[in-house]
Amino acid sequence: MRKLVTGVIAAITLMFISASVFAGEWEKIRIGVEGAYPPFSSVTADGKLVGFDIDIANALCAQMGAECDMVQQDWDGIIPALLAKKYDAIIASMSITEERKKKVAFTGKYYNTPAKFVRKKGSGIEITMDGMKGKAVGVQRATTHDNFITEEFGDAVDIKRYATQDEAYLDAVAGRIDLLLADSVATDDGFLKTEQGKDFEFVGPDYLDPKYFGEGAGIAIRKEDQDLVDMFNKAIQAIRENGTYKQIQDKYFQFDVYGG
């Protein structure tokens, strides 16, 4: 009997130690963010990171009982910096694609919105091979939008690639490109509803083809950190169920950004 009790105590102790080690390992989580993709992430005049991605990241960390440390990173190097352990996860509107899955692990989606073209009002440009022939199209470099325009219209258009979406907006206003292709929500809030975007409009259909745009935006994590993937997945489900997600969504959007 004494051996049985001793064994039970040892087992409980081992479980407690294991749980403590697991909890302690992720008490502080470094989150890679872009800060140049409003309304999902941007930087205020006083240097504060704000946006839907930022609020979601903070809500998920609070749900997991972890401290968040936001690390701003240019988009071009955002996955290499994760793999180099500059941070532990990426929350930066990154689409879950098969190509990216070769390098990193992903949680389930935390939102899903379509891509769409933007033209200058009165330009009359139509989204067909003939209508776009010879036109300059601006996209953010190394994105799903870049892949889509390259594969579907690359033979007809002149693709201009930018480090940030804001740079593409500036060239559109300056008349250096004829079309933009980007996330419809980011473009609507970050450009069309602003003073600089007042002379532009959406054109053509919504694009959500999983071949290019994946399964929605997810959190990218190193493949060896599957425990962190599981923690984030549970936290996403929790904030969806307890109303926190909807509170954040309603702060930025007037529709269901999570998607069907």
At 148-181, the pLDDT tens digits run 999 999 999 999 999 999 999 999 999 999 999 9
Asked if residue 239 belongs to a domain, the reply is: yes
The residue among 8 and 51 whose pLDDT is bigger is 51
* Mean pLDDT score, 226-250: 98
pLDDT recorded at residue 151? 97
Same domain, 124 and 100: no
Same domain, 46 and 131: no
Number of domains, the chain: 2
Same domain, 246 and 194: no
Q: Which CATH number do you get for residue 45? A: 3.40.190.10
Asked if residue 133 belongs to a domain, the reply is: yes
Same domain, 130 and 202: yes
3-state DSSP call for residue 3? helix
Asked if residue 259 belongs to a domain, the reply is: no
Rounded Cα distance, 42 and 51, in Å:
6
Same domain, 107 and 143: no
Eight-class DSSP state of 41: B
Asked if residue 9 belongs to a domain, the reply is: no
Name the residue among 149, 123, 151, 127 with its Cα closest to residue 138.
Answer: 149
Residue 53 above 90 pLDDT? yes
At 110-153, the pLDDT tens digits run 999 999 999 999 999 999 999 999 999 999 999 999 999 999 99
Question: What is the domain range of residue 169?
Answer: 115-213
The residue among 260 and 223 whose pLDDT is bigger is 223
Same domain, 244 and 189: no
3-state DSSP call for residue 242? coil
Same domain, 137 and 156: yes
Same domain, 41 and 152: no
Rounded Cα distance, 198 and 149, in Å:
24
Same domain, 191 and 237: no
Asked if residue 12 belongs to a domain, the reply is: no
Same domain, 89 and 121: no
Same domain, 206 and 223: no
DSSP per-residue string spanning 136-168: EEEEETTSHHHHHHHHHHTTTSEEEEESSHHHH
pLDDT recorded at residue 58? 98
Instruction: Say how many CA atoms lie within 13 Å of 51 toward its Cβ.
Output: 25
Same domain, 231 and 205: no
Asked if residue 161 belongs to a domain, the reply is: yes
pTM: 0.85
* 34 pLDDT tier (thresholds 50, 70, 90): very high
Give, in order, the Cα–Cα distances in Å from 137 to each of 106, 186, 228, 236.
Answer: 30, 17, 38, 35
Eight-class DSSP state of 231: H
Residue 12 above 50 pLDDT? no
At 63-84, the pLDDT tens digits run 999 999 999 999 999 999 999 9
Q: Are strands 28-33 and 67-72 parallel, antiparallel or unpaired?
A: parallel
